[in-house]
């Protein structure tokens, strides 16, 4: 499985910022407030972990692929799990969709809570995306990078216990999303949803490293430099592209001369825009 090239910019977990964070766990039938860490608040809500047969709302888009920053959040959480002796989780597109929708809901409607801003319970919200057995939800506000939000969650003992499965039901899948910009209480919102369904919705395209289609030389733009890079690679044994799916401008899952001619047509003759390959490499 390959992760976005931007991962190299995120591997160093930097210092925590003042913010609010909440972690939500579903495993029992009671409710309890969690602990407070200075100005960072954390709480856990416990509810019956039962499939919701008739969710109150349904969404047209019940599946989604995570963007680069969401992928980094999940990579960091999985690395922490592995370091703690727990198996890594699989990405589920329904949980990506539910977490992204909740982050957008919180930012757009200026709320910060595990439940939907209109009061729909969090487990009902996740189930409405077609995921039958939601386990827990993490939320955060006011931090702007993947590293800082994961580091912030790790300051909470309750959140660590949930992530490392020291309490509650073991997780199988997760999805992450974010919305907004800036720090502080009115800043960027984050959500990670966890679940234990025995059936997952995964897609190889979701795991592609492709951020900028056609960007063979990995400089963040698609231009003539990518054409010369490709020619050097194919005809002179030059450097390999950092992401084959990105270099594969015509999207046929092979990087070859056809991608060079495709790029020339695009750049000099207004041909079709480049697309991503879907090999996950």
Between residues 33 and 63, the one the model is more confident about: 63
Q: What is the pLDDT of residue 254?
A: 85
pTM of the model: 0.60
DSSP state of 6: G
Nearest to 233 by CA among 253, 213, 260, 208: 260
Between residues 171 and 49, the one the model is more confident about: 171
Whole-angstrom Cα distance, residue 127 to residue 172?
15
pLDDT score of 9 more than 80? no
Whole-angstrom Cα distance, residue 13 to residue 146?
9
Q: Burial, 206: exposed, middle or buried (Cβ in 10 Å; 0-12, 13-18, 19+)?
A: buried
Q: Is 26 helix (H, G, I), strand (E, B) or coil?
A: coil
Q: pLDDT (tens digit, 9 = 90+) per residue, 213-255?
A: 888 988 888 999 999 999 999 999 888 888 888 888 888 878 8
Mutual orientation of helices 257-269 and 224-236 as an angle, nearest 10°?
A: 160
Q: pLDDT (tens digit, 9 = 90+) per residue, 80-106?
A: 999 999 999 988 889 999 999 999 999
Q: What is the pLDDT of residue 278?
A: 63
Q: What is the pLDDT of residue 160?
A: 93
Let me know: does 191 contact 251? Beta carbons within 8 Å: no
Nearest to 178 by CA among 108, 256, 277, 264: 108
Between residues 225 and 23, the one the model is more confident about: 225
pLDDT score of 15 more than 80? no
Between residues 204 and 278, the one the model is more confident about: 278
pLDDT score of 24 more than 50? no
Which residues neighbour 64 within 8 Å (Cβ) at sequence distance 6 or greater? 93, 96, 97, 100, 175
User: 110-124, 170-184, 194-208: lowest mean pLDDT where?
Assistant: 194-208
Q: pLDDT (tens digit, 9 = 90+) per residue, 99-149?
A: 999 999 999 999 999 999 999 999 999 999 999 999 999 999 988 899 999
CB atoms within 10 A of CB 36: 11
CB atoms within 10 A of CB 259: 25
User: 34-38, 65-69, 121-125, 216-220: lowest mean pLDDT where?
Assistant: 34-38
Q: What is the pLDDT of residue 200?
A: 60
Between residues 176 and 52, the one the model is more confident about: 176
To the nearest whole number, what is the mean pLDDT of the chain?
A: 76
């Amino acid at each position: 499985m390959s992760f976005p090239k931007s991962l190299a910019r995120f591997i160093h977990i930097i210092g925590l910022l003042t913010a609010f964070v909440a972690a939500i766990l579903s495993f029992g039938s009671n409710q309890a407030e969690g602990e407070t860490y200075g100005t960072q608040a954390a709480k856990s809500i416990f509810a019956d972990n039962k499939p919701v047969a008739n969710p109150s709302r349904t969404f047209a888009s019940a599946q989604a692929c995570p963007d680069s920053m969401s992928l980094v959040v999940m990579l960091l959480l999985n690395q922490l799990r592995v370091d703690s002796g727990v198996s890594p989780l699989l990405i589920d597109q329904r949980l990506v969709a539910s977490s992204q929708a909740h982050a957008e809901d919180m930012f757009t409607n200026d709320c910060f809570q595990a439940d939907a801003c209109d009061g729909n319970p969090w487990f009902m919200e996740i189930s409405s995306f077609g995921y039958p057995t939601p386990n827990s939800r993490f939320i955060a506000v006011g931090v702007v990078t993947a590293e800082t939000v994961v580091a912030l969650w790790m300051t909470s003992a309750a959140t660590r216990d949930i992530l490392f499965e020291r309490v509650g039901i073991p997780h199988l899948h997760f999805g992450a999303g974010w919305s907004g910009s800036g720090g502080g209480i009115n800043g960027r919102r984050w959500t990670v949803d966890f679940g234990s369904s025995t059936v997952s919705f995964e897609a190889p395209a979701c795991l592609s490293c492709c951020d900028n289609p056609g960007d063979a030389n990995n400089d963040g733009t698609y231009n003539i430099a990518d054409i010369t890079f490709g020619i050097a690679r194919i005809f002179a044994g030059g450097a390999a592209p950092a992401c084959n799916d990105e270099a594969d401008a015509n999207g046929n899952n092979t990087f070859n001369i056809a991608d060079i001619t495709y790029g020339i047509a695009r750049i000099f003759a207004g041909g079709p825009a480049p697309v991503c390959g879907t090999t996950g490499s």
